Each structure stands twice: as C-alpha cells, then as structure tokens.
Amino acid sequence: MSPQLTSPPDGRPDVIVLDDVTKRFVIRKDNSLKERLVTFGRAGRKHREDFWALRGVTATIKAGTTIGLIGHNGSGKSTLLKVIGGIIDPTSGTVSRRGRIAALLELGAGFHPDLTGRENVFLNAAILGLSRKETEERFDDIAEFSGIGDFIDTQVKFYSSGMYVRLAFAVAVHTDPDILLVDEVLAVGDEAFQRKCLDKIRTFQQEGRTIILVTHSLAQVMELCDKAILLNRGEVVYSGESHEAVARFRDILEERRIDDLAKHADPEQDLAVPRILETTIRAAGREEGDRVEHGDDLIIRTTFEYPTLSPEWVAAIQMDNAHGQVVYGTRSDLIGHDLDPFEGRRTVEFRLNNVQLGTGKYFINVSLLDRSNRHLADHPQAVAFNVAYYPKATGTSYLEPEFTDLGSEQGPLATR
C-alpha cells in the first residue's frame, strides 16, 4: 500500500513521501561477450554482484520547502533524486508524489542531438507535461532566459556543455512545476548564469514551490536549503537542519580522509595518522562559550599530534560563517613563524585582535600542512562561537553606521 499524502493543520501538505525505499543495481564482472557466454546460467551468478544504492530510505517532504541532498560520491544522492522523479523505480518500498515535477537530472537529458534547440524545447517541454500551445506561449521567455541567441536554431550536438545547461534549465523552470529537482547541473554554467539560476530558485521559494537540490557546494546548501538529508552508503544518516547536516557531513569526510591515510600507509614503517586533538576558542577576558563582543580579542588554541618526526609544517585556521562562506583565514608562516619539525604533541595559539564581525554564528576550521601546502590533517568546524546581536545592521562585518537626510531638491518636477 502506498503511503498517504496528507495535509497537516498548518496547511502545508506532504508532496513527497518515501517509505522504506531501497534500490539495487547488479554489477557484472564478466565484461566481454565471451565471458558472459562461458558463465551463462547458474555459474553466472558468481560473476555478478549486488550494489545497494539506497537502503531503507524514509522521508517526508512538505510543500514549499527547499531540501538539500548531500553526501560523498556514491552515497546515493542522484539515485534518490531519480527515484523521486520517477525516472527509475525502487527495488522495494514506495514513493508517493503530488504535483507537477520538473527534473534537471543529467546534462542535456531529454534532448535529441540531431534536433535544433528550438525543436528540443518543444520535445523537452512535452516530456515535462506542457501542451504545444503552452510551449508556444512560453517559448520567447524560454529562449530569452537561456541566453543562447541565434544558436536556438542550431542542432544541439554542436552545443557546449554550458549551452546545454542554459537551455535545459530554461525549459524546466518555465513548465510551471510544483516540484523542481536539480542535480548538480548548475555547476556547469558560467558564473553569471549560475546567479541567474539561483535568483530563479529564490523566486520559486517565494512562490511556495518545492525544490530538491543535489549539490557538492555546502555553502549553497547552507544558503538555500531549509532542511537537508545526509546520505552515506545509501542510508539516511541525518535529516533535519541544513547547518547540522553540513557539520555531520564534514565529520564523515574527515573520517574517510583518515581511513584513506591509514589504508595507504606503508606497513613496513611505524607510520600513524597525524591528528588535530583539540581546539578551543574564547574571547580574552571571557569564559569559553561566552558570546564575542565587538572589539574583543579572540584566542584560538589547538593541539596537534604527529606520531613520528613531522616535516617542517604550517598551522592554519579558516573562519566560515553560518552559510559556509569564508570570512577570514591565516597561517603561521604568513604571520612570520617557521615551525620546526616535532614529534608527539604540539600546542599553538592564534590571537585575532579587535574582532569586528557581524551578528551570527561562526566556525573555525583547523589544518596541519607541510611546507608544500599538502594537507596532513584537517578538522572542519573544529569549534564555533557566536557574535553578539547588533540591531543596526546585518552581514559578516561590524561597521557602525551613520545616516544623514540631505533633504529634497525643489524644482519644476517637485512642485508639479
């Protein structure tokens, strides 16, 4: 039985309900035709392997929300988006949807290479549910949004990847979708077009449409998404606030980095993984955890561990805001300190004087690098702090504003 789509008391109905969704792909190990003939039948089972792209995914997405799907490569993000869009069926479990869906899942998906851009607009719009009359009414807007000009009457096989994305996105957003699915394709367009697409997504958000976004840009997730779903090896690790999902994803990435270092370590050498053991932050004269006031001095103290004799090294910090944007960064060598090799533990301290940050939450990322700038250890979001509320302005910088009303000019226009 399919899960029920309901309308809760707050008036925001469930538009997508996933109930224990799994997806299995079969990976064949006999690649040639000869190998497949030899292994045909029961023996062939030994030459096949099941890959579970999704395992027991359960989630409910409400109308008018923007959801980010995040996770490392191979975690199941794109597969889940295709299941939601009805492109592929789940192996087990159920998916219920409400409303028209427009999907940007792959570069140029739905385009025929031998047709012109104009012809593909009508073809793709028909796939997305528009009648020919509706497409004709919206064609000029689609062509203008795509910005590909005279190339609209050129076969799309001659298009660049950026032109593919422009036209595909223009068609998708002009089909009046209730739900927009976007899978990383925005990363292909140029910077100006990416801003244009993000502005359109924000317009959709204001109109109360539902957006599900797959992206590797964590800053984009923090900025655009109300919620996020973190996938790892096909399973939902976390579903909730986007900033928490991003923090947990960074922890997973750090764990994978440490595992990779240990896996590729030379077993003949007593080589363990360098680590960042502890990081603390406080404002001078205040307790750890107190809010930072404008003009405070920040003290960041970190303890590194290197199990063998380290190379000459560099300690680095980076400060991000709650949207994942870099606010500040510095390194020991930039300040004029050349750090000698060490073995065991080493504690260093950065002091940032006269901090003038805007209201909000900030995160400190810590790194241990060698002199060739190779990262030996990283601790994303090692520690966080809050800057006190300032009611006169917003943003990442604290600036004391003044305002002067210079009055209005009197003239013919003013006296009419």
Between strands 344-352 and 360-370, the pairing is unpaired
The three-class DSSP label of residue 175 is: coil
Between the alpha carbon of residue 136 and those of residues 142, 147, 156, 174, 408, the distances in Å are 10, 18, 19, 12, 48
Residue 341 confidence (pLDDT): 94
- Can you give the pLDDT of all 416 residues of the chain as single tens digits? 445 555 554 567 899 999 999 999 887 665 656 555 665 555 555 667 788 999 999 999 999 999 999 998 888 998 999 999 888 899 999 999 988 888 877 655 668 889 999 999 998 888 878 889 999 999 999 999 888 888 999 998 898 878 888 888 888 888 888 999 988 766 666 777 778 888 888 899 999 999 999 988 877 887 889 899 999 989 999 999 887 888 788 778 767 766 776 676 555 444 468 999 999 999 999 888 888 999 999 999 999 999 999 999 999 999 998 777 899 999 999 999 999 999 999 999 999 999 999 988 898 999 999 999 999 999 988 988 888 888 888 788 999 999 999 988 766 555 44
Residue 300 confidence (pLDDT): 97
Residue 193 confidence (pLDDT): 79
- Token couple for 132: 């020919």
Residue 47 confidence (pLDDT): 62
Between strands 92-97 and 101-104, the pairing is unpaired
Residue 318 confidence (pLDDT): 96
Residue 1 confidence (pLDDT): 43
Model pTM score = 0.67
Report the distance separating Cα 416 and Cα 122, nearest Å: 52
List all residues 6 or more positions away from 326 whose beta carbon is below 8 Å from its beta carbon.
318, 319, 320
Residue 188 confidence (pLDDT): 63
Residue ranges in 225-270 assigned as alpha helix (H): 242-263
- Token couple for 373: 């700038």
Please give the domain boundaries of the chain with CATH numbers for all domains.
Answer: 271-387 (2.70.50.60)
Report the distance separating Cα 363 and Cα 281, nearest Å: 10
The three-class DSSP label of residue 31 is: coil
- Token couple for 293: 């006031």
Residue 59 confidence (pLDDT): 93
Residue 415 confidence (pLDDT): 47
